[in-house]
A and B are shown apart, each in its own frame.
Chain A
């Protein structure tokens, strides 16, 4: 790896901590981002000659802060001081930086930075875009590509989202334990959104969105490093690792979906699986079960099975039952029905999902599963109806193609019967 690539990686790694600290100093997101940008430019000039500093984040915070202070002073000569708050922390410039970077401050800085992206007023897509821009430092162009929209449109979306969080006000007070737990939960949900935005994409969009799952796992690792004893964060990271471990096996060469049972398990990433399983082991010791841990445990059941027929579906059914208790949702019940079909047969599974029809009337996977259960029961006409609705609701070409395969098979079976 070249020096430049290494510096780039170091800058990206230091970004959440550095921007988080600069945000605390300046209480203004744009100013904090600008200061970080300035510091990065200086790093690119100075690090190749002098070598990278021992603590990249501290270097960037100090340099960024000084650069921004200079700029605020320069501006203040031309116009009245913009806002007392904007420079509230500048009195104690002399305070040794190392001291200010210690433990708790730093953790709260990073959490705050992540948390402001999760404002409940912001729709999910904007939360994701903001986190990728502010925390991960992806360019607007990269984010636009991941969302399949134009750069200008994405720029506008991010600007609007920023205006919204600025209006809502950033919580700068040190959070109490309850607030901290709430922030952690909101941030975990946002990180999983980032992951799924990439993971749930079809094969054709996959290339553009490939950065998102990686970014989400990076953020979860960061979060777990600052909150090392949170079993749900361990669960979240484990869940993402176990899902992502199958990335290379999920699509065929033509971009078609390959279902879990049909995937070449040799293509699963064993390193990711090993790390995911290690994290689940750690989480279990805390005996504080949560939805991410249970979902990770379900993913682990698949990862542990050398062949599809080795899968312990009865245990998976139990885990889904636990998940229904912890985080009830029709989608969870729908997923449980897949396990139920394996353990108790398609009839039992069908009975389980029938009551969900109304709430999942717009959900592709509901009709996909319903169709395939009906097909297994030999109820071809009804299966065709369900598959038809699934195709109408498909959001990726791969989803539609997958259902069409079922319809073709039904057609063949019907022709054979004649």
Chain B
């Protein structure tokens, strides 16, 4: 089954990391990604810009209301997500635990996917 791993963390802290700290976390994470990639279980993964770069379109009015900032004001912010194939919730939580070891703080919301469209974008396109 495909699971989404929604990565929440304190963006104040994350975006204050020095280049070295950022690279250290990314390299620790890549150690977790690697076996998943090799097993063909690793789907799309993204890192988001801080919520200050976000814009929200509220559909409750017509025309829709465009607001600056993220949809929800939260103590920790949605900063990225993964799609990873796991046998069951236990396996998914194991992945989340490994990710958490590489990148402390915050939380992962693990949620099964209902639909997955792999899309047509090439990797690295930003």
Contact = CB atoms under 8 A, between A and B. Distances in A.
Contact of B53 (A13, A278, A285): A278
A10 B10 contact: yes
Given A1-B25, A229-B67, A282-B68, A13 B13 contact: yes
A221 B15 contact: yes
A41 interface: no
Contacts of A279: 52-53
B13 A237 contact: no
Interface in A2-23: 3, 5-6, 9-10, 12-14
B53 A218 contact: no
B24 interface: yes
B114 interface: no
Interface in B47-106: 49-53, 55, 66-69, 75-76, 103-105
A54 interface: yes
B16 A282 contact: no
A52 B105 contact: yes
A282 B55 CA distance: 8
A237 B17 CA distance: 17
B47 to A, nearest CB: 9
Contacts of A221: 11-12, 15, 50, 52
Given A54-B75, A218-B15, A225 B51 contact: yes
Nearest to B50: A221
B70 to A, nearest CB: 8
Given A6-B105, A54-B75, A275 B50 contact: yes
B97 to A, nearest CB: 14
A258 to B, nearest CB: 20
B52 A1 contact: no
B106 to A, nearest CB: 9
B126 interface: yes
B7 to A, nearest CB: 15
Interface residues of B, number: 27
A233 to B, nearest CB: 9
Nearest to B53: A278
A12 B68 contact: no
B23 to A, nearest CB: 11
Given A52-B105, A285-B66, A13 B12 contact: yes
A56 B52 CA distance: 20
Contact of A274 (B11, B103, B126): B126
B13 A9 contact: yes
A78 B126 CA distance: 64
B24 A1 contact: yes
Contacts of A54: 75-76
B67 to A, nearest CB: 7
A221 B50 CA distance: 9
Interface string A266-277: 000000001100
A363 to B, nearest CB: 34
Given A52-B105, A214-B18, A237-B52, 5 more contacts: A9-B17, A12-B16, A225-B69, A228-B52, A228-B68
22 contacts: A1-B17, A5-B21, A6-B104, A6-B105, A9-B13, A9-B105, A10-B13, A13-B13, A54-B75, A54-B76, A56-B10, A214-B16, A214-B18, A221-B12, A222-B12, A228-B69, A229-B67, A229-B69, A237-B52, A279-B52, A279-B53, A282-B68
